[in-house]
Amino acid sequence: MTEDVNRQIRLAARPVGLPKNSDWNLVEDTVPTPGPGQVVVRNRFLSVDPAMRGWMNDRKSYVPPLPIDAVMRALTVGEVISSKNSEFAPGEAVAGLGGIQTFALGDGKDLQKVDLTLAPYPVWLDTLGIAGLTAYCGLLEVGEPKDGDTVLVSGAAGSVGSHVGQIAKVKGCRTVGIAGGSKKCAHLIDQFGFDAAIDYKHENLSEGLKRTCPDGIDIYFDNVGGDTLNAALARINVGARVVICGAISQYNATEIPSGPPAYINLLGRRSRMQGFIYFDYRDKWPAMQKDLAEWRASGAIKTEHDIAQGDVDIFPETLLRLFRGDNFGKLMIELPA
Ligand SMILES: NC(=O)c1ccc[n+]([C@@H]2O[C@H](COP(=O)([O-])OP(=O)(O)OC[C@H]3O[C@@H](n4cnc5c(N)ncnc54)[C@H](OP(=O)(O)O)[C@@H]3O)[C@@H](O)[C@H]2O)c1
């Protein structure tokens, strides 16, 4: 398809609660041309991530707030189409922060070359990208699993959660997943090899934890926050590691949520709770990607994507699917070829 415009989704207003259509603008800009040191990438797949909701707030965080009228920040994979940067040549496949737009102009600093003979584009946003790397950093670097540990994961059927469960299995742990609905819970066991699952939409969480973690929890990998975190803290073992990866249940909250009352168990059980951001481990990504690729090739890790097909204008509705729980695997958009 010949392109003569760069279609972009820009932030129009800061959302209150769930983002609305009026929080976005669809803009048609000219296709960029690279200046000295610059690269233009044609985006092929756009990653749709829960963290995007936080980037839309005017709040200090691990990345600056997205300015009003800026192109929505997003991880992307695509092809270099023109370059005045000696490190990148037209035709090369790259992953980067290309944003919700057809073409991305940049200085190349955020770009990583990707090997499409090792895995196709979507896998570089999934097992070999944000999902696999986040699970790897959070579980192995922060959680420090030991053989035989009980690892509890929330958001377990999602892209990060399913990788956490599968990597924990590789490391000889017992895995318990929390997910919404019987279909996702069956999938955790049949597809991702979890030992047990809790359907938090249909079972009392404390009862479910008693049933599935009779000997307590050694690692809790938290993607959800709120009541789920509190219920897990109530059952941690001595020396447990509580890995704070995300808190999706709170991302659209209109008031500051209160902390988990059961936090005091960290004291009595001599445990720790630690947050992390996966891109702080960027130096280690190549080694992590090597392990992840091997586990994927051996079948120890299964990769599941949920690919929405369409132009950038489907982004606002696609993002909302994460908060309704109706994605199955790593959510992304495949732009028209
Ligand atoms: N720290 C880092 O570096 C880092 C990097 C990437 C992602 N993350 C975090 O990792 C978490 C998972 O991200 P992901 O990309 O893998 O998304 P995902 O799990 O593939 O999709 C989000 C899932 O969250 C669940 N969910 C939505 N609202 C919920 C609620 N109110 N209560 C409980 N569960 C809810 C839904 O599953 P159910 O149907 O099971 O409810 C939904 O499918 C997020 O918190 C994200 O912010 C952190």
Protein residues whose CB sits closer than 6 Å to any atom of ligand 1:
49-51, 130-131, 134, 155, 157-161, 179-181, 184, 223-224, 245-249, 276-278, 322-323, 325, 327
Q: Locate tokens 């959302």: which residue?
A: 15
Instruction: For 127-142, write each residue's pLDDT tens digit.
Output: 999 999 999 999 999 9
Flag whether pLDDT at 123 surpasses 80. yes
- How would residue 313 be classed by pLDDT, with cut points 50, 70 and 90? very high
Choice from 223, 254, 333 to test ligand 1 binding pocket (greatest atom count within 8 A of CB): 223
In the chain, the percentage of residues whose pLDDT exceeds 70 is: 99
The residue nearest atom 22 of ligand 1, judged by CA position, is: 322
| Four-CA torsion 256, 262, 264, 268, nearest 10 degrees | -160
pTM over 0.95: yes
For residue 1, what pLDDT is reported? 45
Flag whether pLDDT at 234 surpasses 70. yes
**For 311, phi and psi rounded to 5 degrees?**
-90, 180
Distance 84 CA to ligand 1 centre (A): 38
For residue 60, what pLDDT is reported? 87
Categorise residue 224: left if φ over 0, alpha if ψ from -120 to 50, beta otherwise: alpha
Flag whether pLDDT at 262 surpasses 50. yes
285-290 contacts: CB < 8 A, separation 24 or more?
285/112, 285/133, 288/132, 288/133, 288/136, 288/137, 289/128, 289/132, 289/133
Distance 65 CA to ligand 1 centre (A): 20
Distances (CA, A) of 325 to 33, 181, 318, 321: 39, 9, 11, 6
Distance 160 CA to ligand 1 centre (A): 7
For residue 2, what pLDDT is reported? 47
Buried b (16+ CB within 10 A) or exposed e, 280-291: ebeeebeebbee
Tell me the mean pLDDT in the region 253-263: 92
Instruction: For 264-307, write each residue's pLDDT tens digit.
Output: 999 999 999 999 999 999 999 999 999 999 999 999 999 999 99
Contact 333, 308 (CB under 8 A): yes
- How would residue 257 be classed by pLDDT, with cut points 50, 70 and 90? confident
- How would residue 256 be classed by pLDDT, with cut points 50, 70 and 90? confident
Distance 48 CA to ligand 1 centre (A): 11
The residue nearest atom 17 of ligand 1, judged by CA position, is: 158
Distance 27 CA to ligand 1 centre (A): 29
Tell me the mean pLDDT in the region 145-168: 98
Domains, the chain, with CATH or none: 5-126+304-334 (3.90.180.10), 130-279 (3.40.50.720)
Flag whether pLDDT at 337 surpasses 90. no
Contact 172, 195 (CB under 8 A): no
Ligand 1 atom showing the smallest separation from residue 328 Cα: 43
Contact 219, 152 (CB under 8 A): yes
Tell me the mean pLDDT in the region 67-83: 98
Instruction: For 4-60, write each residue's pLDDT tens digit.
Output: 899 999 999 999 999 999 999 999 999 999 999 999 999 999 999 999 999 999 998
